[in-house]
Chain A
Amino acid sequence: MIIGILDLQGAVREHRTSLERLGVAVRAVKDVSDLDGLSGIVFPGGESTAMQRLAAGSLRDRLRELAHNGFPMFGTCAGMILLANTVDGKATPHLGGMDIAVARNASGRQVHSFETTLAVKGIGPDVPAVFIRAPYIVRIGPDVDALAEYNETIVMARQGQLLVASFHPELTEDVRIHRMFVDIARQHRHQNEIQQKQEATQL
């Protein structure tokens, strides 16, 4: 199983380290051709406006298609902004796919960036979380599960195979959130294999 990391800009190295610590094969994705054969993709933290400019053309089109078709994707910070259907009140999603509205830079300028620990549903009460000029989730749709809150604001959520966080698990040594995503990708891959076998026998 190979997990891709969108490698246009941002904290690619840190995500690679976290995934490799889980024993997962990792591939940097710069072009649409790099997407072939992946079981999931990570959108790292970075600057969402820059990533949006760089993820253009056929790469963006293919990512958008995957995001809307249940492909496992994990976005942190800027990566979450790429996957949100609504950003700063505007329904002009970068990739979209996830029924959430996010507010960019909601945690304020860098001097207000912070680290803390959060209770994350399905993981535990003590997950380290680093928030850097972080976006917050201001609204979620009915199919979205809120997984963590900070000061009564949603900062981590899941919808099907899409997982997003306002903060940066990749900046910590704790790989439990990455493991959650790898499990989502593995399960999705397994289900696909079963489905393909069934289709093959039906033929």
Chain B
Amino acid sequence: MVETGTLRVKSGLAEMLKGGVIMDVTTAEQARIAEEAGAVAVMALERVPADIRAQGGVARMADPTKISEIMESVTIPVMAKVRIGHFVEAQILQALEVDYIDESEVLTPADPTYHINKWAFAVPFVCGARNLGEACRRIAEGAAMIRTKGEPGTGNVIEAVRHMRLMNEQIRRVLNAEEEEVVSLSKEFGAPLYVLRAIRDKGRLPMVNFAAGGIATPADAAMMMQLGCDGVFVGSGIFKSTDPAKRAQAIVQATTHFMDAARLAVISRDLGEAMEGMIIEEIPPHEMMQTR
């Protein structure tokens, strides 16, 4: 018997991406730069989060022509984003045969209440989370990979750190809980009980968990890895910097050698200007992406 689209096949690709960097790209040329630098996958987009934030308006799935161009230009996996809840955009991406779908808060949500039923798809999904409850709910909806939300397009790592630390703390509580406390934790976190039980079985989140949302430097990437992330997404941080190829390569190296400070010191040298960052407190509440 041959089975496609099983959870093992879906989460299996995420396992293969571990320890790697997934880069946002908007053109075939950028995709080639990312692949050459050692990216494990690219995220095909029409605009990077920093530009979506600056330009405002409704942000949607990219034009299929653009996605296909990027798919044809590289041999590494290609991911693409759909709006939260927009299952038809997801159907289109599956028809294009993208390798992973990101149901992303970077785009304008399409459903005020629900996320996509990801079990209905053979293509795997990655979803953002700010805490363990969100992560577990997305897993229960069929997500095969999780990432922190952070605050996309800011070049400011503080929100990704906040989300990762909170998730770590909540996972520790689940692991240390007495059996009779687990149901209460499920209620407290808004996390389906069966996912909490899977965490207790495995000793960790049952799906791969990457860092995303504000990573701009090799040190940011290494910090997220030391906090326990399985890998890193870099959105605006590469192609909004002054020397994308060099920075991309440096972030790839830093994600692999995240424990080696002497090496990180070499990796971090002479990278040109990082993207201009934003102070989170200066962003009006309605422009925050992570609360979507």
Contact = CB atoms under 8 A, between A and B. Distances in A.
Interface in B228-277: 249, 252-253, 255-257, 260
Nearest to A109: B97
B3 interface: yes
Given A111-B94, A111-B123, A9 B256 contact: yes
Interface string A131-143: 0110000000000
A131 to B, nearest CB: 8
A50 B22 CA distance: 11
Contacts of B256: 8-9, 30, 54
B39 interface: yes
A173 to B, nearest CB: 11
Contact of B40 (A46, A111, A130, A132): A46
Interface string A28-54: 001000000000000001110110011
A110 B6 contact: no
B137 to A, nearest CB: 24
Given A46-B20, A50-B20, A50-B40, A114 B13 contact: no
Interface string B85-110: 00000000010011110000000000
Contact of B41 (A47, A53, A78, A115): A47
Contacts of B124: 110
A7 B94 CA distance: 32
B38 A53 contact: yes
Contacts of B40: 9, 46-47, 50
A132, A168, A171: residue with the most chain B Cβ atoms closer than 10 Å:
A132
A117 interface: yes
Given A9-B19, A9-B256, A114 B4 contact: yes
Given A8-B19, A11-B18, A54-B252, A171 B257 contact: no
Contacts of A9: 18-20, 40, 255-256
B99 A109 contact: yes
B77 A13 contact: no
B100 to A, nearest CB: 7
Interface in A97-143: 104-105, 108-117, 130, 132-133
Contacts of A78: 16
Nearest to A171: B12
A54 B253 contact: yes
A109 B253 CA distance: 26
B15 A50 contact: no
Contacts of B38: 49-50, 53-54
Contacts of B4: 111-114
A14 interface: yes
A172 to B, nearest CB: 8
B76 A47 contact: yes
Given A11-B15, A116-B3, A49 B75 contact: yes
A60 B116 CA distance: 44
Give the interface size bracket for A toward B: 35 or more
B37 interface: yes
A11 B20 CA distance: 11
A117 to B, nearest CB: 7
Contacts of B18: 9-13, 46
A77 interface: yes
B19 A132 contact: no
Contact of A115 (B8, B94, B249): B8
Contacts of B255: 9
A46 B9 CA distance: 14
B54 interface: no
A116 B13 CA distance: 16
A1 B75 CA distance: 37
A45 B9 contact: no
Contact of A53 (B2, B5, B37, B77): B37
A111 B19 contact: no
B77 A110 contact: yes
B17 interface: yes
Interface of A: 7-14, 30, 45-47, 49-50, 53-54, 77-78, 104-105, 108-117, 130, 132-133, 168, 171
Given A10-B17, A12-B18, 14 more contacts: A8-B19, A9-B40, A10-B19, A11-B16, A13-B15, A30-B256, A46-B17, A46-B40, A50-B39, A53-B37, A111-B4, A111-B122, A114-B3, A115-B3
Shortest 3 CB-CB contacts between residues of A and residues of B: A53-B38, A110-B99, A9-B19
